Amino acid sequence: METLISTIKNQQKTMTKVHNFSAGPGILPQEVLQQAAEACINFDNLNLSLLEISHRSKNYEAVMEESMALVKELLYLDDSYKVMFLGGGASLQFAMVPYNLLRDGGTAGYVNTGVWATKAIKESKLIGNTQVVASSEDKKFSYIPKGYGIPTTLDYLHVTSNNTIYGTQIKKFPTAASLVCDMSSDIFSRKVDGKKFSLIYAGAQKNMGPAGATMVAVRESVLGKVNRPMLSMLDYRIHIKNGSMYNTPPVFSIYVTMLTLRWLKKNGGVEWIEKINQQKADTLYAEIDRNSLFTGTTAKEDRSNMNVTFVMSKPELEPEFDKLAKSANLSGLRGHRDVGGYRASLYNALPLESVQVLVDVMKDFEKKFA
């Protein structure tokens, strides 16, 4: 067993440094990957793999409990909130949110700021009355709507905090009686008072852990107000009652999420990482604005600190830039297939060093081709 673990450590030491700007699944801290790899061989000194133990064992129940506690601590939630870890990705939450919160005869409000918000709206319309109260679709989702009216009769208002495809981010959340937020791509990247929200959900694979788990934090008092018969697997109350173990949970993804949140807390929490993330974003945006060959694609006041989107002023030079980026071990920079161009995802675990390498490549590229 020790020989296998030593082999993993030695392999990591000799690996070529790759600067991972992938939009998701995204980069994770190296120490978390090391711990996760070891747990896959020998979890909790049981001489059993994490992947083969019972999810109802005391050892794994401790993982679930710590994961939930860390979420509440880092989102500043009190005991009126319950945390769940579910499968199905954030895409399943597009349906579960209205299924649990949208009453018969009620109305759900949505702010449409991109592809994922559009998909959430589609699912909500299948369940009940759904109103789009604001949208940035008129300018290809290149900005965040502001100053819109919020009907006081809404069962809830749904927003998407960060838009991975278009590179926009809500800087100031709206005030609503019941606010629901998809934080999949920027959760734990900045200080957020979770108590301002009735429900927060986020897929793990962008800033928390590997794909497979979705975190949901809900103020328990908003549940149980719909009249429809509830399917057990879609009922938040069932999952809360069973401690997210109504069915077998995605054990590995939850475990790595726990490790990642431990890493974040150990280093200073969201206040610590927010400063670093701001520095990373400022460094890259400054170069985009300075460089004659690159242009940002979003309104400056709405620029995302997690997903930096930009295009080239001379698109015919993209193959040359791709070669230069590859030679510098820059990975995952291509923009989403729907928009093209480039996208640098600056998730929590990406070091400032990687951003500086990208900036240096952009400067070299301008010297050669401007």
Residues 6+ apart with CB under 8 A from 215: 71, 83, 84, 85, 187, 200, 201, 202, 204, 208, 257
**CA dist., res. 146 & res. 165, Å (int):** 20
DSSP assigned state of 80? T
Q: Which amino acid does the sequence have at 270?
A: V
C-beta neighbour count of 92 within 10 angstroms = 19
Residue 44 designated active-site: no
Is residue 314 flagged as an active site residue? no
The β-bridge relationship of strands 19-20 and 162-163 is unpaired
From the list 116, 235, 263, 302, the catalytic residue is: 116
Instruction: Mark residue 66 as left, alpha or beta (left: phi above 0; alpha: psi -120 to 50; beta: remaining).
Output: alpha
Catalytically annotated residue among 182, 186, 235, 302: 182
Q: Which residue has 């319950």 as its token pair? A: 82
The residues that bridge with 82 in the sheet, in sequence order, are 218
Q: Cβ atoms within 10 A of the Cβ of 296, count?
A: 18
Q: What backbone torsions phi and psi does residue 297 show, to the nearest 5 degrees?
A: -110, -5
Cα 173 to Cα 186: distance, rounded to the nearest angstrom? 14
Which tokens hold the place of 260? 């990642």
Among residues 206, 263, 280, 302, the one annotated as catalytic is 206
Q: Is 116 a catalytic residue?
A: yes
Q: Which residues are catalytic?
A: 116, 182, 206
